[in-house]
Amino acid sequence: MPVSCKICGSTNLDLKHNRIRDGAKEVDCNVWKCIDCEIVFLDLEVDEHQLLDYYKDGHFRNSYLPDIKDAESKKAEKFYSLKQPLQESRLNLLRDLFKKDMEVLDIGCATAGFLNLLKDLVGRVKGIELYRPHVEYASGNLGLDVEMKNINEITEEKFDVICTFQVMEHVATPVDFLSQIYKKLKDNGLLIIEVPNIDDPLISLYDVIPYKDFYFMKPHLFYYSETSIASLLKKIGFNSVQFRSFQHYGLMNHLCWSLTGETSTATKVGGGGMDFPSKYSGSPALQEIMPFFEDTNRKYKTMLEDMRKTDTLLVVARKE
């Protein structure tokens, strides 16, 4: 049987790539792009129960994030503090959407770093997460309402805002996932989604093959663009779909990838800046030149954002 699009069923497909990352290894796997709906997906059969167990057992948190080389980063407390700068910049991009009386749900909230920042700005925050050590940290240490559940297990409650950051690319059945969210939003409620963008400049501008071997990974089943996610959301019933997409990785990271075919170890964690390897850090001349690099980096990211070729999609959809 020919491969067909996992969203629209079309057999009109283009081969986008043929290798993916599986933990530390690279393995053969076709990555298809649907010519009709623009969705990109891995040619993998996924068992939903096995997938849930994979996240419950923490295999993803332990083998990809946030820093494979640092064993300490697997611990919830370290994970929380490593991710907090990212949570702060996320909130800065979204702050104006939240109001004092709102009830907010974060799906796949991990250690609930975003909710912990948000809790004083809204009426109520709730998180759901599959990985038990993160649930225990968020509910025990932070005292937040975070439960070990998936979206299907939220039955009674409705929310003004539902957020899901870097989760939907892991979901095997996005139409069902979004329909579940739609039902759990109040009228006029907002859905905020953050996912990697398939129009990432290292693919769409520079076409760096080793980057594609790294970017496409077994846990990321779907790859969205502004076009494909907007059409999917409209199909579910979200009539208003807007974007606040942004570029996270910086010029230094892009130069490393495009010139050497490798990521820079100096910029591997939070590689949005212009951090030089530490052997240069005492150089007075470099200190003098740094403002130039930092200004150039900011301009570079703004250019990519204006071109709508960013590494991160941030979507705000309204249930009208």
Assess 5 for contact with Zn ion (CB under 5 A): yes
Return the amino acid letter for 218. K
Nearer to Zn ion, 10 or 240 (CB): 10
Q: Which stretch binds Zn ion (CB under 5 A): 1-9, 13-21, 142-150, 255-263?
A: 1-9
The SS3 of residue 169 is helix
Under rule CB under 5 A, residue 34 binds Zn ion: yes
**Closest distance between Zn ion and the C-beta of residue 16, in Å?**
13
Q: By C-beta, is 127 or 174 nearer to Zn ion?
A: 174
Please state whether beta strands 40-42 and 159-165 pair in parallel, antiparallel, or not at all (unpaired): unpaired
Residue 199 Cβ, how far from Zn ion at the closest point, in Å?
A: 17
Cα dihedral 210, 213, 214, 218, rounded to 10, equals 180
Among the residue ranges 26-34, 64-72, 147-155, 170-178, the one whose residues contact Zn ion (CB under 5 A): 26-34
- With contacts defined by CB under 5 A, name the span among 30-38, 198-206, 234-242, 305-313 that binds Zn ion: 30-38
Residue 37 is a binding residue for Zn ion (CB under 5 A):
yes
Tokens of residue 171, six digits: 């979901």
How many angstroms separate the CA atoms of 258 and 95, rounded? 34
* Tokens 């990697």 found at: 196
End-to-end CA distance of the chain: 40
Binding of Zn ion by 198 (CB under 5 A): no
User: What is the DSSP code (8-state) at residue 25?
Assistant: E
Q: Which is nearer to Zn ion, 10 or 265 (CB)?
A: 10
As measured in angstroms, the least distance from the Cβ of 40 to Zn ion is 10
Q: Does 7 bind Zn ion (CB under 5 A)?
A: yes
What is the sign of the dihedral through the CA atoms of 270, 276, 277 and 283? negative
Biggest CA pair distance of the chain? 64
**Which structure tokens are listed for 65?**
């994030």
Q: How far is CA 14 from CA 32, 37, 80, 313, in A?
A: 6, 12, 39, 22
Query: Per rule CB under 5 A, is residue 175 in the interface with Zn ion?
Result: no
Question: Least distance (Å) from Zn ion to the CB of residue 174?
Answer: 12
* CB of 43 or CB of 136, closer to Zn ion: 43
| Count of residues touching Zn ion (by CB under 5 A) | 7
Check binding of 148 to Zn ion (CB under 5 A). Answer: no
Chain residues that interact with Zn ion, rule: CB under 5 A? 5, 7-8, 10, 34, 36-37
